[in-house]
Amino acid sequence: KLVMIGDSFLTGAAENVKSYLSDKYEVLSIVKPGAGLSVLTQSITEEVSALTSMEVLVLGGGSIDLDQCKVKTAYKLITDFAILNNHINIILLNVPKRYDLQNYSHMNDEIRKYNSKLSKIAKAFTHIKFIEVDTKRNNFRKHGLHFNKFCKAHLAKQIASTVQLLLGKKSSSPLVLDWLSDITVYNDKVAADISFETDAIQNKNTNTLVACNNNRSNRTSKRVKKIPRTRTNDFLWQI
């Protein structure tokens, strides 16, 4: 099961994500335009408590909080939410850049800081993944506030691949153990080998247990040996 909750940036995302997943996945989307993170996280308390480690929650939001200069508040809400819901897989989405504002406006500076903090949260928790959507200008509509259809399709593909990656690790094939009889036979063989080697070490003088090959070939050098000379004869000025 995949649960998606966010503000207006996730409008229509459920249908796009479902097109990249198989029929075995159930996709539920909750979109609350204009809602802050406190509203988003509190409105899904019952849904989240019913989720398991084999299910994924996608959380996208925070633009309203950053518009109200509440970066620290938004960061604390996400951190508390991650700690409280460590029994499920969580995918965090970055807050998109605002192209309806100046590049270095206060709002865009807050967005950059907040996205950097989200990336650090994902590194600190093993059950959290962070998806950073490409926020180039050609991925937005003309007004510069919302994604266009191409960016929404790319985001849906990223979410679907991350979901498959998370749940694929959980559904890996288990290790197959040997039967008890096979283990017993193997242990008996190892014990017999150890006993044989111990007897061989203790009976060094006998050749019945350990066969040693003493036939060593003597190597002979074909190099022409130089007659020893004194050191003074090696200098050119000596006559």
The sign of the dihedral angle between the CA atoms of 137, 65, 154, 14 is negative
At 7-57, the pLDDT tens digits run 888 888 888 898 888 888 888 888 888 888 888 888 888 888 888 888 899
Q: pLDDT-derived band of residue 209, with 50, 70 and 90 as boundaries?
A: very low
Range of the domain at 36: 2-170
Q: pLDDT-derived band of residue 71, with 50, 70 and 90 as boundaries?
A: confident
At 164-206, the pLDDT tens digits run 888 875 544 455 555 555 555 555 665 656 565 555 555 555 4
Asked if residue 236 is part of any domain, the answer here is no
Three-state DSSP state, 56: strand
At 212-237, the pLDDT tens digits run 455 555 667 777 776 666 655 555 55
The residue to which tokens 């509509």 are assigned? 141
Asked if residue 29 is part of any domain, the answer here is yes
Asked if residue 189 is part of any domain, the answer here is no
CATH code for position 56: 3.40.50.1110
Asked if residue 53 is part of any domain, the answer here is yes
- Return the beta strands (E) in 80-234 as ranges: 89-93, 128-131
At 93, give phi and psi (nearest 5°).
-105, 140
At 99, give phi and psi (nearest 5°).
-85, -5
Asked if residue 75 is part of any domain, the answer here is yes
Q: Tell me the pLDDT of the chain averaged across its residues.
A: 77
Asked if residue 38 is part of any domain, the answer here is yes
Domain count, the chain: 1
Three-state DSSP state, 83: helix
Give the count of beta carbons closer than 10 Å to the beta carbon of residue 81. 21
Asked if residue 234 is part of any domain, the answer here is no
Distance CA 16, CA 21 (A): 9
CB 65 within 8 A of CB 31: no
